[in-house]
Amino acid sequence: MLNSVPSRDDHTASPPGRVRLSPDERRRQLLGIGLRKFVERPAMDLSLDEVATEAGVSRGLLFHYFPTKAAFHEAVVAAAGRRVLRTVRPDPGVAGEAAVRQLAERFIAQIVRRHDFYLALVYGQSGPLADLDDPGATATSLRSGIADLVCRALPGIDPRVAHAWVAYAEDRALQLPPGTEAETEAAHCVAALGALSALALRP
């Protein structure tokens, strides 16, 4: 009787102790480890050996998913941006000012709760933010994504106003002390958006 052939993880035999995952699961696992380490150090300074060890895979298998260290960096930063956008997105079916209020509350709460993570993502230690679809884009991609959500909630708004408002709300949130409740600050930011929109309509 022939011995059964052991299953393989992306053409690499699994050593004892390795959890066998599908390719998509493995990629998500590696990105998840990168995201957890994201605030601790610049993404480009992440040790790929450390990531591979924590995942229980070989360094070679990690390079099967991310052919260079820069590619892993870009993927981690893009995943972080997608996570923020998912977090701040208004509920389905909510539109208009109610949607903007939800977005403002969630955006501000995200920044206050994960201040260092947000700073690392947008401003500094991580390097430029990869666009959600184009890893070569700049740090404005996340703000552009949030501005797009504003434009979807308020179809008649000037996109330039939406972009300016995101920068305003972001800056205010970054100055708030830990533990600040987002509701009051969000109400101020929604009012500020209305004021900016009114100014943009003036001749």
Domain 18-201, CATH number (from 1.10.357.10, 3.20.20.70, 3.40.50.720, 2.60.120.920): 1.10.357.10
Q: How many CB atoms lie within 10 A of CB 17?
A: 6
DSSP string of 107-127?
A: HHHHHHHTHHHHHHHHTSTT-
What are the pLDDT digits (tens) for 2-45? Answer: 343 333 344 344 444 456 788 889 999 999 998 888 767 666 67
**Burial (CB count <10 Å: 0-12, 13-18, 19+), residue 177:** exposed
Query: Which residue, among 81, 83, 70, has the nearest Cα to 42 in the 3D structure?
Result: 70
DSSP 132: S
What are the pLDDT digits (tens) for 101-133? Answer: 999 999 999 999 988 888 877 765 443 343 434
In the chain, domain spans: 18-201
The contacts of residue 9 (CB under 8 Å, 6+ apart) are 18, 20, 21, 26, 57, 61
Q: Which residue has the tokens 């070989």?
A: 58
Q: Using CA of residue 110, residue 112, residue 116, residue 119, what is the dihedral sign? A: positive
Number of helices and strands in the chain (H, E):
9, 2
pTM (two decimals):
0.73
**Burial (CB count <10 Å: 0-12, 13-18, 19+), residue 92:** exposed
